[in-house]
Amino acid sequence: MTPDKKTIFSGVQPSGNLTLGNYLGALRNFCRLQDEYNCYYCVVDMHTLTVRQNPEELRERSYALLALYLACGLDPDKNVLFLQSHVHSHAELSWVLGCYTYMGELSRMTQFKDKSQRHADNINAGLFTYPVLMAADILLYKSDLVPIGADQKQHLELARNIAERFNAVYGDTFVVPEPFIPGNGARIMSLQEPDKKMSKSDTNVNNFVLITDPRDVIIKKFKKAVTDSGAEIRYDENEKPGISNLINIYASVKDVTRQDVEKEFEGGRYGDFKKAVGESVADTLAPIQERYAEFISDKTYLESILRRNAEKASEKAESTVREVYEKVGFILK
């Protein structure tokens, strides 16, 4: 860790195979920021328990997520790539911060409302307190910046409020983190239901594109993507949510503006546009898929990264927890 650089923390849950939304909203920016910042990028496995998981699959998906971090270009010598459950300080700080978070705040979280509707048979306390654990993840590392998709903005705001509240009582302890939300790509929507976001735990496979989907599958999914009545390729989230989502995806993978996309496909047909979007996504993901296949076949290497980085992350996290314990009045051992 370089002392004069600012710190980043972010994480992804191994709650399913990662989607194009996770890549464009989060992972791609992780890579873009890795030279400028000291980065902690976590596989936040503890968060996944808010929804029932198959233990064997969860373990495999945790390895897969680390392999994807590497495949997307994160350098394991430059970044602290680690597993949340390897650092006990996350659970410890989460308990303390939970005592500085109000029920009313947690009840307002839209993800809690969404997920409790989707999993009505399992509205557990963890689902409700999830944003407190997320606040602990971020605040433990005194993070300045948190790269996230737009869906996590509300949770990040809560983390800021908790940090400010704690600092107001005990004096400067936590850095109040800023979100880093990309322009295009911040909110990739479902391909079949463009009024909801693309999610890795969606039950309809045609709603999402996985980072690891084969080229023909990617192109087929885009071919099937819901478009809107009319024939114009124009960005309008309210009137044309399907086409707007595709414009956003194309702009994001090509790193151009939405206006550039409208101009490129002016007068074009929906079918040709969808094919172009599918091909551009497949081209972008192909090199990542190749590297992923190599990394996932070497568990020994993945384990060595996790072991090494758990130590690095623990060192920083434990020092924050000690500081917090002292401030709240615990006797340090």
Residues at the site binding ligand AQP, with contacts judged by CB under 6 A: 12-13, 15-16, 19, 21-22, 24-26, 148-149, 151-152, 186-188, 197-201
Q: Give the closest residue to 46 by CA, choosing from 109, 118, 117, 95.
A: 95
The residue (of 142 and 197) whose beta carbon lies closer to ligand AQP is 197
**Angstrom distance (rounded) from CA 320 to CA 143:** 12
Minimal CB distance residue for ligand AQP: 25
Q: Give the closest residue to 30 by CA, choosing from 21, 39, 20, 18.
A: 39
**Angstrom distance (rounded) from CA 170 to CA 244:** 47
Catalytic residue among 142, 196, 197, 316: 197
The residue (of 24 and 211) whose beta carbon lies closer to ligand AQP is 24
* Shortest Å distance, C-beta 164 to ligand AQP: 22
**Token pair 């980085």: residue:** 309
Question: Which tokens belong to 236?
Answer: 């309008």
E strand or H helix at 81: strand 80-83
Instruction: Decide: 222 and 206 in contact? Cβ < 8 Å.
Output: no
* Shortest Å distance, C-beta 83 to ligand AQP: 14
Question: Which tokens belong to 215?
Answer: 């080229």
* Shortest Å distance, C-beta 322 to ligand AQP: 28
Q: Give the closest residue to 161 by CA, choosing from 63, 192, 320, 169.
A: 169
The residue (of 227 and 252) whose beta carbon lies closer to ligand AQP is 252
Mark whether 153 is an active-site residue. Answer: no
Catalytic residue among 6, 113, 196, 200: 200
Mark whether 240 is an active-site residue. Answer: no
Mark whether 221 is an active-site residue. Answer: no
**Angstrom distance (rounded) from CA 70 to CA 77:** 11
The residue (of 199 and 284) whose beta carbon lies closer to ligand AQP is 199
Helices and strands in the chain, H and E counts: 13, 5
Q: Is 266 helix (H, G, I), strand (E, B) or coil?
A: coil
The residue (of 204 and 319) whose beta carbon lies closer to ligand AQP is 204
* Shortest Å distance, C-beta 3 to ligand AQP: 27
State the catalytic residues.
Answer: 115, 197, 200
